[in-house]
Amino acid sequence: MMDNVLQLEIQTICIVHIVDMILSIIFFMIFYMKANKDHPLESFLIMQISMIGWMIFKIFKTVSPTEVSRWWFIVAYYLCACILEVAFLEFGYSYYRGKPLPNRIKELIYIFPIIRFIIILTNPHHHLFYKTYDFFGDSFGILFYVHTLIEYIFIAIGFVYCYKTFKVRFKNKKKGYRYFISSAIIIPLILNFLYITKVIHKFVFSIGIPVIFDITPIVFTWSIMVFVYATFNSNFLSLTPILKHEIVHKLDTPISVLDSSFHVIYVNEKLDELFFGEGKGMIEKILAKNDFRKIRNTEIYIDDYYLSIYISRVNTLLETQYILIVKDITSYRRAQIELSKGQKELDRSNEELKKTIYTLKETSKIGARNYVARELHDIIGHSLVVTIKLLEVARLYFNRDKNLSMSAIADASTSIETGISHMYAIKNSDTLKNIYTLKNIYTGELLKKDLSKILYNMKNINLKTNLHFKGTFYSIEEKTFHVIRKVCTELITNSLKHGKAREIFISVNIKKDNINILIMDNGKGCSNLIKGNGLKGIEDRLKLIDGTVEFITSKNEGFMSKISIEK
């Protein structure tokens, strides 16, 4: 029969350990959901499981009915104790260094717990670890104290790494605060030492408490949690107003968290992706080259990246932290550089146009001046309007479709080059001499191809076009052909430049005796049409080939041109 004291001791051990296990499991589940999934967390998980296992097997050891079963539960909880010491050392090292232990070191330190566990496992053959382990108590041999000393050394090394990290994170805090949190690791070691040396027994019995048992795993569990809560809130566990798991899962923005000394303590997944897994290293490089204590918003160029940096201050209960937001604007800046080069090329082309115009004015015959003026108006107007529209598309679609943006830039360059080539063609004296003596025959099929090509060039400026063509097999005089082509080009340009149209419909009907053309757009139109040089020029051109034009428009009702040409 067991006496009342032993019965009370068994009940107390079971109740206290079960309650502690439930609370520690709940704490760890919450902790795991909010912590960074990294090397320190893996080590902490192993350490926490080993402590829970230690307490479970301690309960089974306490209530085991036979000495044999009691012995195997002792072996099991010493296995957990051996795993605990190595896990805590790895935990401290991986958090301090930011990486796991090297494999060679890990293999070396695992030798010690393996050898000691083998000694414990074979104790029934030599009794150098446990002298006795019956139901009523334990007594230890020399190897137990060697085991305890080695375990203290492992935990002490892990404690040193943890304290170093804690010291760096909270160097601005008072020493008393640092020492208080650091003592969380020392307390269970002191209690364990007092327990195995029987000192605590004498004290407990002297104050009238009849029950005493090893509370090391319980104290160690909660002291570790206190230490983690205080030490790792800036990196291992998110206690700031910005929860890191929320950042990772809900924000699609590259973000880094800095401590009060501007050291990197966290980078989210998006930032790591941006720099191909080297997010922390890149932020450290940026911090080394820029003083963000005075700057809050800046743009920098580093390692072929153009970056926009914004930093925000966050005050917490323990320290001031900083949220550093990174935006990659490399593609934007490079496109801007290309646009700048394109602008310079455009300026150069304009200068060439000016020189060409001047040369034409000086060298053209008086009888061809009106022709040249009309040609220049068409070429310059159409070329520049299309170019401007293409550059606007490049700017608008830059962030949404960079391929379309770069294609628009290339088309803009082509538009300018085409305009220049046409200008040089006008300079040709043979062209001017034969303006009114053109005899070559063109067809409706060729006109359809030319108009289709003009409309195709509008594909990158969001202009919807529709061409309806009849009579492609009829022949057209070359003079008539060129006038029709230039008139259509001028009307398309007017629709873009003045009407701001988004849709243009062109219908061409070539018959044996006449040609009818209808051009309509959905631009803004006007209530009172005043003919400028462009529309007057169109009328003058058509008169040269026995043609007429009627312009029809109303405000917000678009613009329509009805052209009739007698062959």
Q: pLDDT tens-digit profile of 164-196?
A: 876 766 665 666 666 666 666 666 667 666 666
Domain 244-328: give its CATH architecture: 2-Layer Sandwich (3.30)
Half-sphere exposure of 416 (CA within 13 A, CB side): 22
- For residue 205, what is the DSSP state? H
Summarize pLDDT for 496-523 with one digit per residue, the tens.
888 888 899 999 999 989 999 999 999 9
Please give the mean pLDDT across all residues of the chain.
Answer: 77
Cβ neighbourhood burial of 485 (10 Å; 0-12, 13-18, 19+): middle
Q: Which CATH class is domain 4-231?
A: mainly alpha
Look at the block and give the residue holding tokens 């550089």.
337
CB neighbourhood size of 207 (10 A): 6
pLDDT of residue 505: 94
pLDDT of residue 60: 85
pLDDT of residue 183: 65
| 537/534 Cα distance (integer angstroms) | 5
Highest mean pLDDT among 29-33, 123-127, 138-142: 123-127
| 273/92 Cα distance (integer angstroms) | 27
CATH superfamily of 440-567: Histidine kinase-like ATPase, C-terminal domain (3.30.565.10)
Residue 9 pLDDT greater than 80, yes or no: no
| 294/313 Cα distance (integer angstroms) | 12
Summarize pLDDT for 41-87 with one digit per residue, the tens.
788 788 888 888 888 888 888 777 788 888 898 899 889 889 988 98
| 396/219 Cα distance (integer angstroms) | 64
Whether the CB-CB separation of 487 and 512 falls below 8 Å is answered with no
| 563/550 Cα distance (integer angstroms) | 7
Amino acid at 475: S
Summarize pLDDT for 200-226 with one digit per residue, the tens.
666 666 766 655 555 566 666 666 666
Tokens of 416: 């300018």
Pairing relation of β-strands 464-470 and 320-328? unpaired
506 DSSP β-pair partners: 467, 519
Residues in the chain: 567
Phi, psi at 223, each rounded to 5° = -70, -35
Whether the CB-CB separation of 260 and 321 falls below 8 Å is answered with yes
Q: Which long-range contacts (CB under 8 A, 24 or more apart) does 496-502 make?
A: 496/385, 496/386, 496/389, 496/461, 496/463, 497/381, 497/385, 498/523, 499/523, 499/524, 499/525, 499/558, 499/559, 500/524, 501/463, 501/558, 501/559, 502/462, 502/463, 502/464
Question: What mean pLDDT comes out for the span 388-414?
Answer: 69
531 DSSP β-pair partners: none
Q: Categorize the per-residue pLDDT at 437 as very low, low, confident or very high, splitting at 50, 70 and 90.
A: very low
Q: What is the CA radius of gyration of the chain?
A: 43
Look at the block and give the residue holding tokens 């520690």.
24
3-state secondary structure 54-68: HHHHHHHHHHCCCHH
Of 367-371, 435-439, 549-553, give the lowest mean pLDDT range: 435-439
Distance, C-alpha 167 to centroid of its chain: 32
Tokens of 195: 């327990």
Question: What mean pLDDT comes out for the span 463-479?
Answer: 89
